[in-house]
Chains A and B, each alone.
Chain A
Amino acid sequence: MSVASTQAHPAGAATAGGLGVRGSRGPRRDRRFKPFGPSPLLIAFVVVPLLIESVAVFWPAIQGVYISLTHWNGVNPPTFAGLDNYRRMFDDPVFRKALENTAIWLVLFGTVSAAGGLGCAMFLQRERRGIAVYRAALFLPVVFSLTATALMWQTLYQPRGLANGLLSAIGLGSWQHAWLADPRTALYAQILPALWREIGYVMVLYLAGLKGIDPALHEAAKVDGASAWQQFRNVTLPQLRSVNAVVLSVIVIDSLRSFDVVWSLTQGGPYNSSQLLSTYMYQTAFVNTDFGYGCALAVVIFVLAFGVIVSYLIRAFKETD
């Protein structure tokens, strides 16, 4: 498989790809169709995770919704406030800014990481000598903790950091900037480190998806005289539909919970200009200890994430039906 023979000898590639698919999917299928009835072990496998999930996830989530309906500073007993916290959002300029920034983040971060991830995957899908090095290099940022990543980028963005140094070296000294301190650039300067990480992750998802496409489809398209673009548009993309659903969920969730980068770099500043819903929620709940409003913000984030993903999934399922 090391020779660039995929196109010249599609049959060989098909065997290799086919093997790969069988190798990874086989065992899972076997397990699913085990013919035994519900054994105690099986019940334990369902009940134990359910219990853990209930205690560790569902119960705190329900409690979070309850707290969002109260005024609570963590010290006094919470007092029921109805929808006060939600009403407060309407005339909270910081909330509006955070919502706007989150939308910008979602769109920019989402499209660039999906397009970039798919692009890298297309580029790196063919087996060539040393291709693994490139894949590993692109995936490497995913391994770093985002806080560490942020610290690294912070040094780059320093007024006398590498970013400004580079600009002056190529004669763009006038573009030099205090990237993180200027409210006009702070948000965008922070999307970059997040993208740097996310693209590698999305690439791996798409690489897996591309591997799963039956090469015979491309072969057939080529025999029919389809151009590279037509193949991409009419074979690759439709075949990636299931991966797209995963990628979209991952991107939406990741962008709504994007927190580490912003909190480490600017804490939503300067003067709230790069505040995201997630950082605003954290600040409200854990710095200002206004847990009621903080939980209300968390509920909004949850509804947004859940809404986007569910609506996509519904549409995706409708299409498959």
Chain B
Amino acid sequence: MSRFEPSRRGFLAGMGALGAGVALGGCATATTPSGGAAQKGGAVTLQSDLSSPLAEKAMKSLVAAYNKQSTYTVKLNTVAATTYQPLLPTYLTSANPPDIYTWYAGSDANHYSARGLLLDVSKVWSSLGNYPTALKTLSTDASGKQIFVPTDYYWWGVFYRKSQFKKWGLSEPTTWAEFLKVCQTIKAKGVIPIGLGAGTGTAWVASAWFDYFDIRINGAEYHRGLLAGQHKFTDPQVVKVFDAWKQVLPYFDPNGTAVSWQEASNQLLQGETGMLLTGTFFADAVPAGSLDDLDFFKFPVLDPSVPDVEEAPTDGLFASSHTGNSAAVMDFMSWMTTPTAQNMWTQTSSGTVIPANPQATSPATPLVQKGKAMLAAAADLTQFFNRDSTDALQNTADTALVDFIQNPGRLDSILSTWQSQAEKVWNS
């Protein structure tokens, strides 16, 4: 359920204005039935950006299952992920907005909530006593009310092939020194140690490295503050991040900024690269047989005094405060938090996500169990660069990080450019 799904490349390029118009027309007509006061029954619209075939199918069957057992009707309106993101503000501010939206928790949701655009869903949360506190904090806005209902989350890790590691006589590294040694060994075997895939439209994957270095060296608080504009990208703390990165840069795929992320995951599967730092969504495209050979380890610890923080992007739903039928919205959202609904979701989708409700059954694969345990042990969870900030700031990161990977010697000027570009984003 990543906002940056592989399907991102399949967008209707160039049709910005046209696409906007068409999609807007679609949503305007789709919302007409939602007008009218809160009553028992009635229809609401669910605006979904889960447009990859697998996810769309899973969402369709979920909505069908809900409609079967409810007096309310939910209408699913799936919009291509790349069109959805720029249009979300337009949806929310339109006179007759769609009611419910798939989106992610964190900075973006708070931003809309601060402008009074999101429905207070604290009522849904009153029945979610069993949800982890971390998820509740994540779903709470600055004024203290809940505005988001998480449905599932996933994790990031350094993925590798078990058979390859066995062949090379390697075990999972936990410290930075061990990690560097693993890199050396793989390189000595004539294989590229670390794949990247920050080319052609997927430059954002490079920020996973930035995020992890920053939370391992400077901690989650500093990281969030940095992305919020409280610190500077030219700070010595940030320079330290890049100093660590420089140590592994020689082990990166020299074509890392040329090949796309999809290509990079293929390289890992074909044994052309040894390791890949990625989110579990990459398992969507893995042939069923190869999944068993895959394993991951936690991003190595650089400073033992910094508590372990992991990236755990959380997906879910929020709703428009201008909905005409908040009873139906709440009812659907509550239903989506039930183990029944969440089991349906994890079974029909790729099966590498963890349901938000602890009572729901996570997929029993060793991979998911290991991921769940890693997140449970973490001191704090971050989302991802763009989720903890904005897509606009993500752009500045893409520019800076790809530049750094190609020209590590120009770090100073890259960081000062990054800072000035980021300031424009923060001040706009």
Contact = CB atoms under 8 A, between A and B. Distances in A.
A180 B406 CA distance: 13
B14 A178 contact: no
Q: Which 7 pairs across A and B sit closest by C-beta, in order of nearness?
A: A181-B258, A178-B258, A74-B89, A288-B392, A286-B86, A271-B403, A260-B14
B14 A181 contact: no
A269 B402 contact: yes
B200 interface: yes
A72 to B, nearest CB: 10
Given A71-B428, A75-B112, A181 B392 contact: no
Interface string B270-293: 000000000000000000000000
B200 A154 contact: yes
Given A75-B115, A272-B399, A178 B89 contact: no
B257 interface: yes
Contacts of A159: 255, 258-259
Say which size band chain B's interface belongs to.
35 or more
Contact of A180 (B9, B199, B398): B199
B172 interface: no
Given A75-B111, A154-B200, 8 more contacts: A74-B93, A75-B93, A75-B112, A147-B12, A158-B263, A263-B14, A270-B402, A287-B391
Say which size band chain A's interface belongs to.
35 or more
A283 interface: yes
Contacts, number: 101
Contact of B16 (A264, A265, A282, A293): A282
B89 A75 contact: yes
30 contacts: A71-B428, A74-B93, A75-B89, A75-B115, A75-B117, A93-B417, A147-B14, A158-B259, A159-B258, A178-B258, A180-B258, A181-B255, A257-B14, A260-B14, A263-B14, A264-B201, A267-B201, A271-B402, A272-B399, A283-B395, A286-B16, A286-B20, A286-B86, A287-B391, A287-B395, A288-B391, A288-B395, A288-B425, A289-B86, A289-B391
A290 interface: yes
B92 interface: yes
A181 B12 CA distance: 22
Contacts of A249: none
B21 to A, nearest CB: 8
Nearest to A183: B406
Given A178-B255, A259-B13, A76 B115 contact: yes
B90 interface: yes
Contact of B400 (A74, A267, A271): A271
Nearest to B399: A271
B203 interface: yes
A285 B14 contact: no
A146 interface: yes
B242 to A, nearest CB: 15
Interface in B78-120: 85-86, 89-90, 92-93, 111-112, 115, 117
Given A146-B13, A158-B259, A289-B392, A269 B203 contact: yes
A271 B13 CA distance: 20
A117 to B, nearest CB: 22
A289 B89 contact: yes
Interface in B1-55: 9, 12-14, 16-17, 20
A259 B12 CA distance: 11
Could you say which of A146, A260, A282, A288 has the most chain B C-beta atoms within 10 Å of its C-beta? A288
Contacts of A73: 89, 428
Given A74-B90, A75-B111, A159-B255, A263 B13 contact: yes
Contacts of A255: none
A68 interface: no
B263 A287 contact: no
Interface in B383-414: 390-392, 395, 398-400, 402-403, 406
A266 interface: yes
Given A158-B258, A269-B398, A260 B13 contact: yes
A147 B19 CA distance: 15
Given A271-B400, A289-B392, A290-B392, A265 B200 contact: yes
Nearest to A288: B392
A182 B402 CA distance: 11
A259 B14 contact: yes
A254 to B, nearest CB: 12
Contacts of A150: 13
A232 B258 CA distance: 45
B396 to A, nearest CB: 9
